[in-house]
C-alpha cells in the first residue's frame, strides 16, 4: 500500500462477525464468490493488506482472471475506494493499456476485485534484471505511458501512484512497450471529465520519490501531478538509477521538492541532452509542468524511433549483474548510491504529530517554487 495520509480508518462492527453472519450480511458477495474457482497455488502477488489470486471465472466460460483481495481494515476511505470501482473503472476499462476492474464483490472483511490476468511481470523487474533501456526503447515506453495518462485524465481520473511497479507486461514475450497500467487503489475520480486541469486536490497520498512534491505541500495539485512520476520513470529507464539520494521518508519528500534533478555522467553515458531536457520538463513545478497531451509533442518523443528488437532493447555494455542489487521495492540500487530502500519496508510509517506540509515548505526555496497557483489546460 502506498504512503497515504487519507482519512482515518472507519471501523465496522462486521469485523467481529462469524463467517456465517458475514455471508448473511453480504449474500450477494457469497453468491459471487461461488462464480470463481480459485487456484490452490500460492498468490501471484502480495501486499501489506492485500493479495492477488489466480482463478477461473465460471460466469465467463472459465476465463482465467486475477482477483485482488483487499482487507477492508486497510481502506482509509471506503466510500472513495468504491467510487473508483463503481464510477472510475467503467470510464476507462475499454482502454488497451489499462487493467481496470471487470467485476467486484465484498464479504464481511474483504473486497474482491476481478482483473484481467497479466503474466509478463513489472516494468521495474525488467529494468532490474536487464539494465538500462536505450533511448528508443525508453521513448516507446513513455509514449504508451503518456497516451494512457492523457486518456485517464480526459476521463477525470488522477492515478496518484505512477511508478514502474505499477506498469505490467501483458505476457513474458511482450514487446518493450506492451505495458498495462495497474493499481488504481488511491486514484482520484473527479466529477468533471475534461482536459481542464485545476490544482484543486489536497488529500496527500502516493509513493515518496514518485509522487509530485505539491501533493505534500498542501498547495493543491491536479492531473499533471502524474507527470512528475512519469519523469522519474523516464530517469529510471535511461540510467537504471533513481534521481534521489535520501533513505528516510521525510527527507525523501523534502528532497523531491527542493532538488533540481541532475544526471551523473556514468549512468547517463550516451544519453542525449534532448532526453535529459524531457525529464527536467516533467519534473518541473506544476505551473511549468506539461499535461500528458503536451508532453507527447516534445521533440524527444516526436523524433522517429528506430525499430527496437526485443533482444536489443538494452545497452548491453551497461549490464553488470554484480553491480545491481535486487530490491523488492520501487528502485534499482547501485553500490554506493543509496536509493530510498525504506519504502517497501515501511511505506506507511507513523509520522505522529509531524506536519508533512510544514516540513516540506520549510525547505529553502520550496515555498516559492510550489506556491499555490491554478493553471488550465493551455499551461506550458
pLDDT digits (tens, 9 = 90+) for 139-148: 999 999 999 9
Element (H, E) at 85: none
Rounded Cα distance between 370 and 257, Å, is 8
**Global pTM exceeds 0.85:** no
CA-to-CA separations, 198 to 202, 286, 376, in angstroms, rounded: 11, 10, 6
* Average pLDDT estimate for 263-270: 94
Q: Tell me how long the chain is.
A: 380
Least confident of 1-10, 22-31, 301-310, 362-371: 1-10
CA-to-CA separations, 199 to 151, 254, 280, in angstroms, rounded: 19, 20, 20
Judge contact between 65 and 116, C-beta under 8 A. Answer: yes
DSSP sequence for 137-190: HHHHHHHHHHHHHHHHHHTTEE----SGGGEEESSTT--TT-EEE---TT-EE-
Query: Can you give the pLDDT at residue 313?
Result: 53
Tell me: domain 123-369, CATH 1.20.120.160, correct? no
> In whole numbers, what is the pLDDT of the chain averaged over residues?
79
Question: Which cell numbers in the block locate residue 169?
Answer: 507486461
Query: Can you give the pLDDT at residue 370?
Result: 65
- Could you tell me which residues come within 8 angstroms of residue 267 by beta carbon, excluding any fewer than 6 positions away? 132, 239, 240, 241, 334
DSSP type of residue 241? S
Binding residues: 72
Binding residues for ATP: 72
- Residue carrying the nine cell digits 481520473: 157
- The domain spans of the chain are 23-116, 123-369
Question: Which cell numbers in the block locate residue 362?
Answer: 520549510
What percentage of the chain has pLDDT greater than the value 90?
53
Query: Can you give the pLDDT at residue 8?
Result: 25
Query: Can you give the pLDDT at residue 129?
Result: 86
Residues with active-site annotation: 161
Q: Name the residue among 115, 114, 98 with its Cα closest to residue 106.
A: 114
Judge contact between 147 and 46, C-beta under 8 A. Answer: no
Rounded Cα distance between 159 and 153, Å, is 9
> pLDDT of 184-212, one tens digit each?
989 999 987 777 778 788 888 899 999 99
* CATH superfamily, region 23-116: Phosphorylase Kinase; domain 1 (3.30.200.20)
> pLDDT of 209-250, one tens digit each?
999 999 988 888 999 999 999 999 999 999 999 999 888 888
What percentage of the chain has pLDDT greater than the value 70?
73
Q: For 72-163, where are the E strands, in sequence order? A: 103-106, 110-116, 157-158
Amino acid at each position: 500500500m502506498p504512503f497515504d495520509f487519507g482519512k482515518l480508518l472507519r471501523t465496522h462492527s462486521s469485523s467481529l462477525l462469524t463467517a456465517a453472519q458475514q455471508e448473511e450480511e453480504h449474500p450477494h458477495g457469497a453468491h459471487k464468490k461461488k462464480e470463481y474457482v480459485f487456484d490452490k497455488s500460492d498468490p501471484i502477488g502480495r501486499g501489506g493488506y492485500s493479495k492477488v489470486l489466480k482463478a477461473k471465472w465460471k460466469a465467463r466460460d472459465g476465463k482465467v482472471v486475477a482477483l485482488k483481495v483487499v482487507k477492508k481494515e486497510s481502506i482509509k476511505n471506503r466510500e472513495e475506494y468504491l467510487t473508483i470501482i463503481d464510477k472510475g473503472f467503467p470510464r476507462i476499462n475499454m482502454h488497451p493499456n489499462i487493467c481496470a476492474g471487470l467485476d467486484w464483490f465484498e464479504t464481511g472483511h474483504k473486497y474482491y476485485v476481478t482483473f484481467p490476468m497479466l503474466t509478463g511481470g513489472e516494468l521495474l523487474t525488467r529494468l532490474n534484471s536487464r539494465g538500462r533501456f536505450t533511448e528508443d526503447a525508453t521513448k516507446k515506453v513513455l509514449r504508451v505511458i503518456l497516451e494512457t495518462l492523457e486518456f485517464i485524465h480526459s476521463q477525470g481520473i488522477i492515478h496518484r501512484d505512477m511508478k514502474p511497479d505499477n506498469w505490467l507486461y501483458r505476457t513474458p514475450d511482450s514487446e518493450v512497450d506492451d505495458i498495462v497500467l495497474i493499481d488504481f487503489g488511491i486514484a482520484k475520480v473527479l466529477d468533471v471529465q475534461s482536459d481542464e486541469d485545476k490544482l484543486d486536490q489536497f488529500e496527500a497520498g502516493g509513493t515518496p520519490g514518485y509522487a509530485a512534491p505539491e501533493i505534500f505541500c498542501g498547495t493543491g495539485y491536479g492531473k499533471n501531478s502524474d507527470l512528475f512520476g512519469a519523469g522519474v520513470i523516464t530517469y529510471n529507464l535511461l540510467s537504471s538509477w533513481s534521481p534521489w539520494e535520501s533513505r528516510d521518508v521525510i527527507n525523501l519528500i523534502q528532497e523531491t521538492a527542493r532538488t533540481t534533478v541532475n544526471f551523473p555522467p556514468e549512468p547517463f553515458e550516451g544519453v542525449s541532452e534532448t532526453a535529459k531536457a524531457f525529464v527536467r520538463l516533467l519534473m518541473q513545478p506544476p505551473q511549468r509542468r506539461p499535461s500528458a497531451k503536451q508532453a507527447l509533442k516534445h521533440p524527444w518523443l516526436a523524433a522517429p524511433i528506430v525499430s527496437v528488437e526485443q533482444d536489443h532493447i538494452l545497452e548491453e555494455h551497461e549490464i553488470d549483474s554484480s553491480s545491481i542489487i535486487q530490491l523488492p521495492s520501487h528502485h534499482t540500487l547501485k553500490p554506493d548510491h543509496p536509493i530510498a530502500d525504506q519504502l517497501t519496508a515501511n511505506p506507511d510509517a507513523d509520522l505522529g504529530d509531524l506536519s508533512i506540509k510544514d516540513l516540506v515548505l520549510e525547505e529553502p526555496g520550496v515555498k516559492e517554487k510550489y506556491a499555490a497557483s491554478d493553471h488550465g489546460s493551455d499551461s506550458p
